[in-house]
Amino acid sequence: MAEFNGLGCGMGNLSQLSHAQTRSICAENPTGEKGKGGMAPAETNPASRDLGLGWKCRPCAIVKPGETLTLADISGPGAIQQMWFTPMGHWRHWVLRIYWDGQEQPSVECPLGDFFCMGWSRYAQLSSLAVCVNPGSAFNCYWEMPFRRRCRITIENLNEGESLYFFYQINYVMTEIPENAAYFHAQFRRSNPLPYKEVHTLVDGIEGQGQYVGTYMAWGVNNTGWWGEGEIKFFLDGDEKFPTICGTGTEDYFGGSYNFENKATGQYQEYTTPYAGMHQVIRPDGVYNSQQRFGLYRWHITDPIRFERDLRVTIQALGWRSGGRYLPLQDDIASVAYWYQQLPTAPFPAFPGRDGLEVI
């Protein structure tokens, strides 16, 4: 039997020993080196000046407006196993980027809030296997992210005004990576508003072998009626006009049904589960009728969508018009697509500026 390399940890293999080495990066040990944690001088934090070296002297980083901070720069082979962030300011105005094995273009490029399913920059409890968000702004990610030569993680501060505190912890393992392990990717896109009778594209231009593993959507409705009749479509390996995988409705894809309605109240019902949820409903007018906003996620953990050569994913925006016919909608739709693939990563579309990320 091959030696266990410490990857894919779960309840079924926690008792298995390995020679993998656990490391962790945070502001108290920014390099993750063995025996180098808690070494910041007491003068860096007035709260610990009476306690001295080793007493919570640098629990966070301070990031200036417009600054990009390198959170991690790790030599491989290894794998990120958990990340925890708690940002100040507007959550969509922090941009997370991850680069694998020396690539110039990122494989992850996403507003921090959207990556953690908080695209509206408002807290909502989320309890799932891949992402957990806990009070008050505790973002937790459990996607396993293997790399062979190098992992570089950065955070860019697009918030205006004063410098902001940024708390973080990145837990990883140094170990051998199997040949068939692919690289984690995540891409943000926004249609605001979605042009009439067009579809929102979650991702396209993916090349190489891989598997699609998740979707988050921040969906802002510009009508007063039901909005979730649109179908999600996965175009695999040369599919052109018609997809191989076609959903039956937006609420169906996110694990719900019949308008996400609580029959007792007649209103939308939030829910959060290990694999799918509509964990957030924002009702700005308090009457449930105008400018409603939704947060939805679907993880393909037990059912990854596998592709050999290429992938494109789109979703329709459909409501109802009088007379029982579908109504194409022009909503504010933002999405994050999550997938694993071989390198190289095809360059992403140009990332929107601060105005393109704005939430009012």
In a domain, 4, yes or no: no
The verdict on whether omega for the bond into residue 193 sits within 30 degrees of 0, i.e. cis, is: yes
Q: Is 3 among the domain residues?
A: no
176 and 188 share a domain? no
If asked whether residues 302 and 276 sit together in one domain, one would say: yes
> In terms of domains, do 264 and 277 share one?
yes
Asked if 215 and 335 count as a contact pair (C-beta separation under 8 A), the reply is: yes
Confidence at residue 68, expressed as pLDDT on a 0 to 100 scale: 98
β-sheet bridge partners, residue 153:
72, 98
Q: Could you tell me if 114 and 194 lie in one domain?
A: no
The pLDDT value recorded for residue 287 is 59
Alpha helix stretches (DSSP H) within 186-266: 250-253
Give me the helices (H) in the chain, please: 112-115, 250-253
- My answer on whether omega of the bond before 243 falls inside 30° of 0, hence cis, is no
pTM over 0.75: yes
Residues 132 and 236 in one domain: no
User: Domain count of the chain?
Assistant: 2
Q: Are residues 132 and 271 in the same domain?
A: no
In this structure, is residue 210 part of a structural domain? yes
Cα–Cα distance for residue pair 7/277, rounded to 1 Å: 27
pLDDT value of residue 3: 85
- Domain final residue pick, 157, 181, 205: 181
**Residue 76 and residue 150 in one domain:** yes
- 310 part of a folded domain: yes
Question: Is residue 157 located within the same domain as residue 218?
Answer: no
* Judgement on whether residues 57 and 99 belong to the same structural domain of the protein: yes
Look at residue 75 and tell me if it is in a domain.
yes
Amino acid at site 212? Y
The CA distance from 216 to 49, in Å, is 43
In a domain, 237, yes or no: yes
Asked if 140 and 212 sit in the same domain, the reply is no
From 280, 273, 284, select the one nearest 294 (Cα to Cα): 280
Note whether residue 25 is domain-resident: yes
Is residue 9, in this structure, part of any structural domain at all? Answer: no
Same domain for 66 and 40: yes
Per-residue model confidence as pLDDT tens for the chain (360 residues): 578 999 999 999 999 999 999 999 999 999 999 999 999 887 788 888 888 888 898 999 999 999 999 999 999 999 999 999 999 999 999 999 999 999 999 999 999 999 999 999 999 999 999 999 999 999 999 999 999 999 999 999 999 999 999 999 999 999 999 999 999 999 999 999 999 999 999 999 999 999 999 999 999 999 888 999 999 999 999 999 999 999 999 999 999 999 999 999 888 999 999 999 999 999 886 655 678 999 999 999 999 999 999 999 999 999 999 888 999 999 999 999 999 999 999 999 999 999 999 987
Q: Do 218 and 168 share a structural domain?
A: no
Residue 255 Cα distances to 89, 207, 272, 315, 322, angstroms: 32, 28, 10, 15, 27
Q: Which pLDDT score is estimated for 279? A: 98
Domain end residue (candidates: 181, 206, 234): 181
CATH number at residue 62: 2.60.120.1390
Q: Which domain holds residue 224?
A: 182-347
Domain boundary among 145, 164, 181: 181
HSE value, Cβ hemisphere, 13 Å, CA-based, for 336? 29
